[in-house]
Amino acid sequence: MVRQLIRLACLMILNVKFLFRYSNQPKAFFEALAYITASIHSAMQSFHVDPDIALAQTLSKEFYTSHHLFEACKEKLFARSWQFIGSTDLAKKTGDIYPLTLLPGYLDEPLVLTHDKTGVVHLLANVCTHRGNIIADHACATSHLRCKYHGRVFQLDGKFLSMPEFKEVKNFPSNIDDLKQLSVFRWGKWLFTSLNNQENAAVFLQEMMQRLHWLPVHEFEFHPELSKDFVVKAHWALYCENYLEGFHIPFVHAGLNAVIDFGNYSTELFKWSNLQLGIAKDDEDCFDLPKDSIDAGKKVAAYYFFVFPNMMFNFYPWGLSVNIVQPISLHETKVSFLTYIWNESKYNTGAGSGLDKVEMEDEEVVENVQKGIRSRFYQHGRYSVTREQGTHHFHRMIGEWIGKEVDR
Write the CATH number for 184: 2.102.10.10
Tens of pLDDT, residue by residue over 336-361, are 999 999 999 999 999 899 999 999 99
Do 290 and 399 sit in the same domain of this protein?
A: yes
100 falls within a domain:
yes
97 falls within a domain:
yes
Do 245 and 170 sit in the same domain of this protein?
A: no
Do 267 and 324 sit in the same domain of this protein?
A: yes
Burial label for 227, CB within 10 Å (0-12, 13-18, 19+), is middle
**Percent of residues, the chain, with pLDDT higher than 90:** 79
pLDDT value of position 30: 62
Do 299 and 189 sit in the same domain of this protein?
A: no
Residues spanned by the domain of 137:
83-193
Do 156 and 281 sit in the same domain of this protein?
A: no
Tens of pLDDT, residue by residue over 318-328, are 999 999 999 99
33 falls within a domain:
no
Lowest-pLDDT choice from 2-6, 265-269, 399-403: 2-6
367 falls within a domain:
yes
Tens of pLDDT, residue by residue over 103-151, are 999 999 999 999 999 999 999 999 999 999 999 999 999 999 999 999 9
**pLDDT at 6 exceeding the cut of 70:** no
Average of per-residue pLDDT across 10-35: 56
Do 272 and 381 sit in the same domain of this protein?
A: yes
The length of the chain is: 408
Number of domains comprising the chain: 2
Helices (H) and strands (E) in the chain, counts: 12, 19
Do 258 and 403 sit in the same domain of this protein?
A: yes
Tens of pLDDT, residue by residue over 85-99, are 999 999 999 999 999
pLDDT value of position 142: 97
pLDDT value of position 258: 85
If you write DSSP's letter for every residue of 265-309 in order, what string do you get?
Answer: -EEEE-SSEEEEEEEBSSSTTS----TTSTTTTS-EEEEEEEETT
Do 140 and 171 sit in the same domain of this protein?
A: yes
Return all residues near 205 (Cβ < 8 A) that are at least 6 apart: 82, 185, 187, 192, 273, 307
Do 179 and 222 sit in the same domain of this protein?
A: no
> Residue 145: enclosing H or E segment and its boundaries?
strand 145-146
Q: 145: closest CA among 192, 177, 188, 175?
A: 177
Tens of pLDDT, residue by residue over 13-24, are 545 554 555 556
Q: What is the DSSP letter of 235?
A: -
pLDDT value of position 407: 39
Averaged confidence pLDDT in the chain: 89
Whole-number Cα distances in Å, 188 to 192, 212, 226, 337, 376: 11, 12, 21, 19, 48
pLDDT value of position 405: 41
Do 227 and 159 sit in the same domain of this protein?
A: no
Tens of pLDDT, residue by residue over 275-317, are 999 999 887 789 999 999 999 999 999 999 999 999 999 999 9
Residues 67 and 330: their CA atoms lie apart, in Å, by 7
Tens of pLDDT, residue by residue over 148-179, are 999 999 999 999 999 999 999 999 999 999 99
29 falls within a domain:
no
DSSP bridge partners of 100: 111
Write the CATH number for 236: 3.90.380.10
pLDDT grade, residue 3 (50/70/90)?
Answer: very low
48 falls within a domain:
no
31 falls within a domain:
no
127 falls within a domain:
yes
Residues 38 and 290: their CA atoms lie apart, in Å, by 57
Average of per-residue pLDDT across 247-258: 86
| pTM of the entire predicted model | 0.87
173 upstream amide cis, omega within 30 of 0: yes
Residues 151 and 279: their CA atoms lie apart, in Å, by 58
